[in-house]
Amino acid sequence: MASHLSEELITSRENKWLKIFRAALRGTGPTEGDPIGVEGPKLVEDALRSGLQAEALLVSEAGEASDLERILRAAGESEAGIPRSRVMRTTDKLFASVAGTEAPQGVAALFVQPSWQFDAVVHGAAAADGALRGDAPLVVVMAALQDPGNVGTIVRSAEAFGATGVVTTRGCADPWSPKALRASAGSGLRFPVLRGMAIPVLLAQLRVAGVKIVAASSHSVAVAGAGAGAAADLREAVAIFIGNEGAGLPAEIEHVADARISIPMSAGVESLNAGVAASVALYEAARQRKGFTTDEH
């Protein structure tokens, strides 16, 4: 294993690479051109297997002993790999000083940001290769959600329930922030994501693509199958908008929505956590679409 590593052990807190890792692993998400910071052997391995291009790998003494061989194997099987000069070692103590978790696992990596286009979000990841999915678009839009844990949970549910992609609007927590990536359990590294879009631009692009605007609201009719007569049809091309944890959806979205959905709850419960609410709506969309497929075929 040693032959894969740079010879020197980084022992200074002022090392250039440690500063870059610290900013990436403790920040709120990468700005344009900055790398995505990924911490933990499983997430790093997921990112490599997803085809993300690695800029650097940092391992502590403990990480080198337990996880490095598996990580390097995943890197060797990836198209880009990791240059030997960018596989770096440091002490457990210094690794803990740059890590974003309370119990660091001794492995972290920096990855080049993937470049997702709007078509990939609407038609699925295969659209990036020129092949369109047969399913109707199912896009999840997070409008100014503040909690990165909610954002990551929604990205994870979006992938799990067959959405084509997710979008965050300006002011939303970054889906590529360390906390959101951990909450997404790796989904944020491989699933089509557009970050920080202006709402008017997004609405215009959805209209051009023929995607209906569905507002998830606590004051609306329920989704189909939940006891409401006027339920939204989530089998067609739709973008489900999830609002801010406290303020809900912006008025500009409420005003142009083609349909509104809500989740019926017991009396006395004001609202659900945004991540939970989005997951329930996505499950309902998947349930409707599975039934639609069965009926047709």
Domain ranges within the chain, ordered by starting residue: 2-111, 118-296
pLDDT of residue 110: 97
pLDDT at 129: 54
Confidence of residue 225 (pLDDT cuts 50, 70, 90): very low
What's the pLDDT score for residue 269? 67
pLDDT at 246 over 90: no
pLDDT tens digit string along 16-28? 999 999 999 999 9
**pLDDT, tens digit (0-9, with 9 covering 90-100), for 102-136:** 999 999 999 999 999 999 999 987 665 554 455 79
Average of per-residue pLDDT across 192-200: 97
| pLDDT recorded at residue 128 | 54
Residue 83: the pLDDT is: 81
- pLDDT one-digit tens code per residue, 39-75: 999 999 999 988 899 999 999 999 988 888 889 888 8
pLDDT confidence bin for 232, thresholds 50/70/90: confident
Lowest mean pLDDT among 78-92, 116-130, 142-156, 167-181: 116-130
Percent of the chain with pLDDT over 90: 65
Q: Terminus-to-terminus CA distance in the chain, angstroms?
A: 53
Pick the range with the lowest mean pLDDT from 5-19, 215-229, 231-245, 271-285. Answer: 215-229
CATH class of 2-111: alpha beta
Percent of the chain with pLDDT over 70: 87
Is the pLDDT at 280 greater than 70? The verdict is yes
CATH superfamily to which 118-296 belongs: SPOUT methyltransferase, trefoil knot domain (3.40.1280.10)
